[in-house]
Amino acid sequence: MSAHHDTHVLTREEILSATSRPIGRGVKLASIILAVIGTLVFLFGVIQGENRAWQALHVNWLFFVSISQAAVVLVAVQRITTARWSRPVVRFLEGYVAFLPVAFLLLVLIFVGRHHIFPWTHEAPPVPEKAAWFDPTFLIGRDLAVFGILVLLSVWYVYTSLRLDVGRSTDEGAGWARGLRARMRRGFGEERREIHSTHSRQGWLAVVLCLAFGFFMSLLSWDLSMTLDMHFQSALYSWWFFMGGWLGAIMSWSLLTMWWRRHLNAYDLVTEHHFHDLGKLCFAFTAFWGYLTFGQYLVIWYANIGEETHWARLRLIGPWLAFTLSVVFLMFVLPFLGLLSRAAKVYLPTLALFALCSLAGLWLLRYIEVYPSLHYESAHAPFGLYEIGVTLGYLGIWGLCYSAFMDAFPRMRVTLLTSPYRDQVQVPYDPETMETMPAHE
């Protein structure tokens, strides 16, 4: 990669100019239409007193939030590893943060309709030891608190990244963020010092964000997904849950990178090497998700404890079997076998196909996390207007948030792509004295 950096370095103005094409009005209009459709379907279900409208709202919250939150943490991991390969494409991933504040409001809405979703609102805990855990005030309070902390940490981290690029750029971008961009430029100092101070600040902030993600998403997965069946518990459930979101973040990142490359005509900035790297990540975490899935199933099967086996058995019989098998094939079998070769990773139609398969499988996974536990006596899997309509609504809301973010800020990390000091961050520097630090520090 260093040889690649040394051959040709575009100027800041060239990159900003090459990546400044706004998102088309058609994309925004489509997002608005989808958001309106989803909202109307949800409101229709609420008026009709239909529990499935609320349950579909919850399924999609789990799907979109697990992906969006994992995406920001994946950005933080790029800092922890001081990755250089992702500099032209990582901003496409940072845009996911725009959905998280909206997701917090949606979580509040979900708790407003909790009686339509969660058994703990109207059923007694199966054992006395779980009574305190299922106390509504304690459960709702802790979930809002930990997700709020995750949102604040995520916004803070992406803010530091944006400031480094906005600090010396002209005020271009969507009008809604004009004041925010002005605040970023205020007090922006000498470029070399800003690069090192930002790198230093992001170093500890990235670690805090990753640790918070692992712990807080575990808590949210237990409260919002696993406890839909109040008798069930699994030690691997939280890993299985948030690594599914992690895989979804990488798969959707690959798709968006393809779209941005074509939309911006950025074939010199986003190359085959980036898609090879993205394809390797897709393959690696497909394998890891498969490992976690089989590991959880194997332990449940081998222990043969009723409190655990009933959850897996329910999803392997009746109307749920087809959904479960679809998840296995869409999230593991097809992407794992399909992305084995380098050619499949760099040939964009195949990479896009397997990424779409994985995302569809992840949505079905969130569906079978929720619906079988709430409709275990149903002879047919509830799937229709509410599930499809609310999903389209979420997709529209997510698209509006993402579009607003990407039209307001530079699309690439122009400072770390163009600055003569961009690779000094690979070596430890004291941000105060600007001197290199001894290796042991």
Whole-prediction pTM: 0.94
Question: What is the C-alpha to C-alpha distance for residues 355 and 335, in angstroms, rounded to an integer?
Answer: 8
Confidence of residue 422 (pLDDT cuts 50, 70, 90): confident
pLDDT computed for residue 393 by the predictor: 98
pLDDT computed for residue 8 by the predictor: 58
Establish if 183 belongs to a structural domain: yes
Establish if 2 belongs to a structural domain: no
Q: Contact 139/158 with Cβ under 8 angstroms?
A: no
Establish if 204 belongs to a structural domain: yes
Establish if 78 belongs to a structural domain: yes
Establish if 12 belongs to a structural domain: no
Q: How far is CA 419 from CA 45, 192, 439, in A?
A: 54, 8, 24
Q: Averaged over 19-33, what is the pLDDT?
A: 94
What is the 3 state secondary structure string of 146-203?
A: HHHHHHHHHHHHHHHHHHHHHCCCCCCCCHHHHHHHHHHHCCCCCHHHHHHHHHHHHH
Total domain count, the chain? 1
Domain that holds residue 117: 23-424
pLDDT digits (tens, 9 = 90+) for 237-280: 999 999 999 999 999 999 999 999 999 999 999 999 999 999 99
Which of 66, 34, 4, 50 is closest to 238 using CA atoms?
A: 66
Residue 48 is which amino acid? Q
pLDDT digits (tens, 9 = 90+) for 116-132: 999 999 999 999 989 99
Establish if 4 belongs to a structural domain: no
Confidence of residue 169 (pLDDT cuts 50, 70, 90): confident
Question: What is the C-alpha to C-alpha distance for residues 400 and 98, in angstroms, rounded to an integer?
Answer: 9
Q: What is the mean pLDDT of the chain?
A: 93
SS3 content of the chain, % helix, strand, coil (to 5): 75, 0, 25
Q: Contact 70/213 with Cβ under 8 angstroms?
A: yes
Establish if 330 belongs to a structural domain: yes
Establish if 3 belongs to a structural domain: no
